[in-house]
Amino acid sequence: MRRPCIEIDVEKIKHNANCLVKQCGEKGIEIMGVTKGVCAYLPVVQAMLEGGVKKLGDSRMQNIMALRKAGVENPIYLIRIPMISEVQDVVYYADGSLNSEIDVIKALAREAKKLGKVHKVILMVDVGDLREGVMPEDVLDVVGEILKLEGIEFEGLGTNVGCYGAILPSYENTKILVDLAANIEKKYGIKVRTISGGNTATLSLVERGKLPEGVNQLRVGEGILLGTDTTHNFRKVPGTVQDTMKLKTEIIEVKVKPSYPIGEIGRDAFGNVPVYEDRGPMRRAIVALGKQDCRIEGLKPINGRIEILGASSDHMILDVTKCPEIKVGDIVEFGVDYAAMLSLMTSGYVEKVVIR
């Protein structure tokens, strides 16, 4: 097995998917399984499907195309609002997409007509996080425009909070969607089929019984993949397990060295001016992994006696003073958060390993 590698326990991911599909299903909420955090790595996607997820969502067309090539036939949605330049692929490979720009939706309509397809559109509403979405006061007009288009099915409304602006989901900001949907139904005499109320962060509203009546979909990545909710201070999502994956790295040097560097301090390879604390001589280990592969801040050594000191592009330095047994060639394991997982899964230098 090559190293570094990320070891993924797909049974645990299946458990998490099943747990959330059941918990939410009882309340009439479907789970769209969001696969971007693992670059739609097929064994993980299969685990989600085995866990009962029916619809998938990903932010990247390359991932969606790979899933189709692998034979996945479930509905898949593009959950990053599309680029105009990719609408042809979007309509061909995805069943639907989240959208916020009428010009893009018109382009999707033209492609859909050309291909003899109907593309589903979920209109995103910005309820305060200030990432994607139409402002609430503009929603009725935009829906009117969408309803005129051939080749497009207006499926419903969606919103996203947490990911960019760190705004937490609340009864009030999620209720905006439900109220808008009611207004749309009244004004246009249609049924708004899907109200896609949020992501992992919104699970906390479901647990507390604070999710507004009418929301019938959540798009969940992190909660399934890691069983955590970063936006609510990395809390554990009830019923899920957390140790779904771990990173394994190999030690390439172990030496006792000073803890304070010798010489004039300039900037490191990433332009930062480092700050050091002189803790006297220290047993330091280097593992073959760096910032090119991983967001180091998101790693946590599984052995609590090891501390991460820092990293350059290809080397990560550990304080192993409390681990006299550690030697060159040993494996050091780490837990990962969402950001670390994302970077590791994206790196072509990190081996992906499935365990059962």
Ligand X SMILES: *Cc1c(COP(=O)(O)O)cnc(C)c1O
- Choose one: 34-42, 68-76, 269-277, 299-307; the region binding ligand X (CB under 6 A): 34-42
Binding span for ligand X by CB under 6 A among 105-113, 213-221, 256-264, 329-337? 213-221
Residue 305: CB minimum distance to ligand X, A: 32
Taking the complex as a whole, the smallest distance from the CB of residue 335 to ligand X amounts, in Å, to 17
**Residue 201 in contact with residue 164, Cβ under 8 Å?**
no
Closest distance to ligand X from the beta carbon of 163 (Å): 6
Ramachandran angles phi, psi of 285, nearest 5°: -120, 145
Q: Which residues contact 59 (CB under 8 A, 6 or more apart)?
A: 36, 78, 79, 80
Q: What is the 3-state secondary structure (H, E, C) of the chain?
A: CCCCEEEEEHHHHHHHHHHHHHHHHCCCCEEEEECHHHCCCHHHHHHHHHCCCCEEEECCHHHHHHHHHCCCCCCEEECCCCCHHHHHHHHHHCCEEEECCHHHHHHHHHHHHHHCCCEEEEEEECCCCCCCCECHHHHHHHHHHHHCCCCEEEEEEECCCCCCCCCCCCHHHHHHHHHHHHHHHHHHCCCCCEEECCCHHHHHHHHCCCCCCCCCEEEECHHHHCCEEHHHCCEECCCCCCCCEEEEEEEEEEEEEECCCCCCCCCCCCCCCCCCCCCCEEEEEEECCCCCCCCHHHEEECCCCCEEEEECCCCEEEECCCCCCCCCCCEEEEEECHHHHHHHHHCCCCEEEEEC
48 contributes a contact to ligand X by CB under 6 A: no
- Decide if residue 157 touches ligand X (CB under 6 A): no
Rule CB under 6 A: is residue 19 a binding residue for ligand X? no
Q: Is 34 in the site for ligand X (CB under 6 A)?
A: yes
- Can 36 be counted among the known catalytic residues? yes
Residues 86-145 that bind ligand X (CB under 6 A): 98
Q: Of these, 63, 97, 200, 240, which contacts ligand X (CB under 6 A)?
A: 200
# binding residues, ligand X (CB under 6 A): 15
What is the rounded CA–CA span in Å between residue 60 and residue 40? Answer: 9
| Cα–Cα distance measured from residue 189 to residue 142, given in angstroms and rounded to the nearest whole number | 15
347 binds ligand X (CB under 6 A): no
CB of 207 to ligand X, least distance (A): 15
219 binds ligand X (CB under 6 A): yes
76 sits near ligand X (criterion: CB under 6 A): no
By CB under 6 A, tell whether 217 contacts ligand X: no
Which one among 63, 97, 100, 160 touches ligand X, defined by CB under 6 A?
160
User: What is the nearest approach in angstroms of ligand X to the Cβ of residue 142?
Assistant: 18
Residue from 59, 244, 321, 343 in contact with ligand X (CB under 6 A):
59
Binding status of residue 221 toward ligand X by CB under 6 A: yes
Q: Is 169 in the site for ligand X (CB under 6 A)?
A: no
| Of 12, 36, 55, 352, catalytic | 36
Output the smallest distance, CB 150 to ligand X, in A: 26
Q: By CB under 6 A, tell whether 227 contacts ligand X.
A: no
Q: Is 173 in the site for ligand X (CB under 6 A)?
A: no
Q: Which is nearer to ligand X, 82 or 221 (CB)?
A: 221
Q: Minimum CB separation from ligand X for residue 95, in Å? A: 16
For ligand X, the binding residues (CB under 6 A) are 34, 36-37, 59, 79, 98, 160, 163, 199-200, 219-223
Active-site positions read 36
